[in-house]
Amino acid sequence: MTDATSTPPGGGARTKSSLMTLDNRVRRRNAAEARFRAYGIAAVTVGLIFLALLLFAIVRNGVPAFTQTFMTIPVELKADKLDKNGNRDIEEIKKVSTFGYKPLIIDAMSRTLADNGIESPFAKDKDLEKMVSASASAQIRDFVIANPGRIGETVDFRVLASSRVDGYMKGRVAREDLARDKNLDAEHLDVTDALNEAGVLKREFNWAFILGADASESRPEQAGIGVSMLGSFFMMLVVLGLALPIGVAASIYLEEFAPKNRWTDLIEVNISNLAAVPSIVFGILGLAVFIQFAHLPQSAPLVGGLVLTLMTLPTIIISTRASLKAVPPSIRDAALGVGASKMQSVFHHVLPLAMPGILTGTIIGLAQALGETAPLLLIGMVGYIASNYPDGIASGFLDPNSAMPAQIYEWAKRADPAYYERAWGGIIILLLFLMTMNIIAIILRRRFERRW
């Protein structure tokens, strides 16, 4: 050992250093690492804060939509109004329109007030009508047509309060707003307070919001998302039925069988590009091809499903190909080695191993399709279906319908703040569906995952 060989390559004499003190270079590197970690934590925190804000906003704005204010009023089904001839002929009873029921409701309201010892602040009883939903007269008429024998009796009906009364109960409508609101004045709110104290008004969970049909602009308290949920369901059936087999077959062919040449390269590039095409482009394509050229009915879940299939296919193909690629080649070799044909090796060995990935990709694709709005607007999947099922959607795939996200968009567009609340509520339901689908995807992946 000479001095020359022990000199460090940098040259010069090595200074004695202690391991107990950090040198400058190490200190700088540690500082850089600490900074990087801080950036990472900050980024994650910002993300989490936004997520929390989003969830908070959705829950706060949306949860009130699930409850609704009801009141129970004793309605006297006056024979002289509903059945003038007294012969209980169902055809003649049907001739009385919902307008004919208004006076009954007004009577019932004033009687309710009197029963509870509330003095009516109105000069005319007619003003009380605004407290009850416009749906009440239809509800009572339906009852009378179904039970003509009960004309003449006094029956207790549980009817919806009007959206303003409901809003006041929920805190959405305040007294300061009355100046801008022609439909309500301070007296109504006084009566509402009194009825609430008397226990006539009840805020209860409203199944009709989840199961019901849309309603007209003037009666948001009646609107529900149920029919458009069914529309979405039919569309998802179409998407699942078409996109899964087509997508999986295409991916298996491209990944396992197709020769690698210019054509398959071109196809590959195009599939990747299609996945990035804005959904509204698929919408206008669907409008041109399925509706204007093929003359399929507008607003039908079939057409919506076809458009969403086009949109979902690239997602499914890309994820399926990725999971086929992830199957180790040794499995293919093993199968070919014992004399399996190409197809047997794919269907017996490769496909089962790729299944969790394929299913996950499909469900993610479906979830994406479920939340898609833009293409549906272009093909008119915003049908206004006010009648509840089964009447409104007798044959499903070809009848006009709406879809959940399109319905939410429609509600958000309407002027009444009560509809704004329902849009948030609809978003909660949509998110629940998406979360369920994602959870199913995770469970499937866990369940079918195997190691090799």
The distance of closest approach from Cβ of residue 447 to other proteins in the complex, given in angstroms and rounded to an integer, is 14
Quote the CA–CA distance of 106 and 127 in Å, as a whole number. 8
Q: CB-wise, 126 or 342, nearer to other proteins?
A: 342
Residue 335 interacts with other proteins (CB under 8 A): yes or no:
yes
Helix H or strand E segment including 158: strand 154-160
Alpha-carbon span 235 to 379, nearest angstrom = 13
> Which C-beta is closer to other proteins: that of 47 or that of 328?
328
Among 330, 432, 435, 442, binds other proteins (CB under 8 A): 330
Distance CA 243, CA 316 (A): 7
Query: Among 334, 377, 386, 437, which residue interacts with other proteins (rule: CB under 8 A)?
Result: 334
Give the residue, chosen from 16, 124, 182, 260, that forms a contact with other proteins under the rule CB under 8 A. 260
Q: Which range, of 26-34, 107-115, 338-346, 425-433, touches other proteins by CB under 8 A?
A: 338-346
* Phi, psi angles (nearest 5°) of residue 226: -55, -45
When binding is defined by CB under 8 A, the residue of 336, 374, 377, 398 that contacts other proteins is 336
Of the candidate spans 119-127, 178-186, 300-308, 340-348, the one that interacts with other proteins by CB under 8 A turns out to be: 340-348
Nearest approach in angstroms of CB 11 to other proteins is: 39
d(CA 395, CA 191): 45
Q: Which of 196, 212, 228 is nearest to 66 (CA)?
A: 212
Q: Which is nearer to other proteins, 264 or 270 (by Cβ)?
A: 264
**Max alpha carbon distance in the chain (Å)?**
129
Pattern of binders to other proteins over 341-380, x per CB under 8 A?
A: x--x---xx---x---------------------------
Place of tokens 């689908």: 437
- Interaction between residue 265 and other proteins (CB under 8 A): no
Q: Are 403 and 229 in contact (CB under 8 A)?
A: no
Q: Give the range of 89-97, 109-117, 129-137, 331-339 binding other proteins by CB under 8 A.
A: 331-339
Residue 452 touching other proteins (CB under 8 A) = yes
Count of residues that bind other proteins according to CB under 8 A: 22
Helix (H) or strand (E) holding 74: strand 67-76
* Stretch of 22-30, 54-62, 323-331, 384-392 contacting other proteins, by CB under 8 A: 323-331
DSSP 220: G
Sites for other proteins among residues 172-231 (CB under 8 A)? none
Residues 78-137 contacting other proteins, CB under 8 A: none
CA distances to 31, 58, 200, 373 from 232, in Å = 53, 21, 37, 11
Cβ proximity to other proteins: between 278 and 337 the closer is: 337
Site for other proteins contains 450 (CB under 8 A): yes
* Nearer residue to other proteins within complex by CB, 307 or 353: 353
CA distances in angstroms from 392 to 102, 306, 402, listed in the order given: 26, 22, 11
DSSP 129: G
Give the CB-side neighbour count of residue 205, counting CA atoms within 13 A. 3
Closest among 370, 368, 365 to 381, alpha carbons compared: 370
CB of 353 to other proteins, least distance (A): 7
Shortest distance, CB of residue 445 to other proteins, whole angstroms?
A: 15
Among 435, 436, 409, which residue's Cα sits nearest to residue 422?
A: 409
Asked if 131 contacts 191 with a C-beta cutoff of 8 angstroms, the reply is: yes
Q: Which residues bind other proteins (CB under 8 A)?
A: 259-260, 328, 330-341, 344, 348-349, 353, 450-452
